[in-house]
Each structure stands twice: as C-alpha cells, then as structure tokens.
Amino acid sequence: MSIPDFQTIMLPLLKYAGDEQEHSIHDAHDHLAQQFKLSREEVNELLPSGQQAKFYNRVGWARTYLKKSGLLRSTRRAYFEITERGKNVLEENPARVDMKFLKRFPEYHEFKANKRESSQQEDEESDINERTPQEALEEAYQDIRENLVQELLSQVQNSTPTFFERLVVELLVAMGYGGSRSEAARAVGQSGDEGIDGIIDEDRLGLDTIYIQAKKWQGTVGRPEIQKFVGALQGKRARKGIFITTSDFSIGARQYASLIDTKVVLINGQRLAEYMIDYSVGVSTVSSYKIKRLDTDYFEGE
C-alpha cells in the first residue's frame, strides 16, 4: 500500500499507546510500518530534502498533533505515553482521528492559533485541497518553525542559569551588539547591581550602552518587576534597556513599558526562541528551498 498521510496515522498511533506504557517514537515507527504493511522501499522513501524518511516524518507529525491536543504527552526526549483524555477517546471507538476530530479540544485550537492558522470553522482537509502549492509550502514552513520554537523554549527553560547567560551573550552578539563575543561576555552576567544583570554596547564603537536584565522566570512577569528595572536604569541615567525572560509579560507590564520615556524592550520566551532561529543560535539548517518565478524581463525583445 502507499504511505499513509499523517492524519491516517493518528488513530493507529493512539491505539499503539493504549497499553498505557511508555513508548519511543522509533518503536512506534517500526510497529506502524508493519501494521500498514509498508515495503522496505516505502519505509526508506525520503522527503524531497533527502534529510528524513517520509513515513518517519509523518509519524512524528501525527504524534505532535495528538500531543498538542492532549491525547499523548512526552515523558522524555523521543518518548511518549497516552493521557487520560487519550484513553477516553479510545473508549469512544472512533472510526478515525484527524484534525477535524481534534477540533473538539481547546488545546488544539490554541495550537492552531499559535501557528497563525485561520478559518478554524472550515473543514481542514478541504482547506488543504484549496491552497496553492506555494501557500501550502509557506504554511508548512510555519508549522515546522512553530514546532521548533516550542522545542527551543522547552530546552531553554530547562537549562541552567549559567547556560542561559551564555545564550543571551551569543544571541546579542549574533544580533550585532557588544562587539566581539569576549567583550560581550565580560559585560553580561557580571553586574547584578540594583536590578541590572548586565551591560552591553549597542554598537561595536560603544557609542551607546544598553542595560540588561535576563531572568529564567516561573510565571508571568508583572508591572512591578518592570518598574524596578526602570528605576535601576534611571539610577544609572540610562536611556535603553532590555528585559529578557523565558516566560511572558503581563498586559500591565507591556502597557507600562510602552508609555514611559525610557526605551525598554521586553523579550519573552516565544520571542527569544524566534530570535534564536532568525540568528541561528542553538539551531542548524537541515535543508533550504528557493522559490523561483519566471523572469519575463529575460524574454523581452526576443
């Protein structure tokens, strides 16, 4: 038979986890390949990039959607198990579990909203058929990027404070601040003075200075923390500051930062992970694609 799409894989994958044991994605891949009676050639068929097997990729995406909908959960890297919600779904004995089925769960809608998906009331499968190839490619890129953002954020949140400080240094240098890495490293993570964690040059010439607070935070960062940071900046007669956290900021904190004269940039965990992708910090390129179009100027005057 042909390689099943990732939605067709969802229910068999959920049933595989129905024994309530911890399973690895590799074992799930092998089990499902046998269940779908895939040939060796089908199992080894690669994506166009040549970097990953197509069936393995689809099993991975089926697991991602089930996880985001609360039917599976990760136990450790590359391992998963079924949740109570997943067991309840199996007790319903559905004929199929796909994106349309997953719409019943609020976590699925949040997941789709985070990926900037629209038209949640429309049928997902018919929507896929209506998209142009370029639209499908661009949306697929956003899917991959958002999944990577969540993986990066999880890694950063579980890192040590020392590693987090080094990450902040490398990211700021990659963004063009602080001159060399060694110069930036001497500045960030050294102060700890009156609510300021570090100081870094805005440019290589050191024409202006930016004060930094970088915190691995549990829960939402509220307005009082930003006020404290701004007070520390004023004590230094500083005009610019960056507050970086692995969590998020409250609405009050964002409103306060937008209204004061001092320029304070708030970088939450989501934005931090996106910057890491944009400036290639903690990530590597697997493959790249170029979209080309007809150059009509080339043919003019033929």
Domains of the chain, first to last: 6-113 (1.10.10), 161-278 (3.40.1350.10)
Q: Rounded to 5 degrees, what angle do the CA atoms 278, 262, 256 make?
A: 85
* SS3 (DSSP) at 292: coil
Rounded distance, CA 261 to CA 39, Å?
A: 66
Residue 215 CA to residue 164 CA, distance in Å, equals 8
Condensed to tens digits (0 to 9), the pLDDT of residues 239-289 reads 889 999 999 999 999 999 999 988 999 999 999 999 999 999 999 988 887
Q: What is this structure's pTM?
A: 0.60
Q: pLDDT band for position 82 (50/70/90)?
A: very high
Q: Which range has the top average pLDDT, 25-29, 73-77, 260-264?
A: 25-29
Is 42's pLDDT higher than 90? yes
Are 100 and 48 within 8 A, CB to CB?
A: no
Helix axes 6-16, 25-35, angle to 10 degrees: 110
Least confident of 166-175, 180-189, 287-296: 180-189
Distances (CA, A) of 195 to 161, 166, 190, 225: 16, 19, 12, 9
76: confidence class by pLDDT, cuts 50, 70, 90? confident
Name the DSSP class of 18: G
What is the total residue count of the chain?
302
Q: Are 191 and 197 in contact (CB under 8 A)?
A: yes
When pLDDT is cut at 50, 70 and 90, the band that residue 120 belongs to is very low
- Residue 130: pLDDT above 60? no
pLDDT at 302: 57
**pLDDT at res. 4:** 92
How far is Cα 248 from Cα 250, in angstroms, rounded to an integer?
A: 7
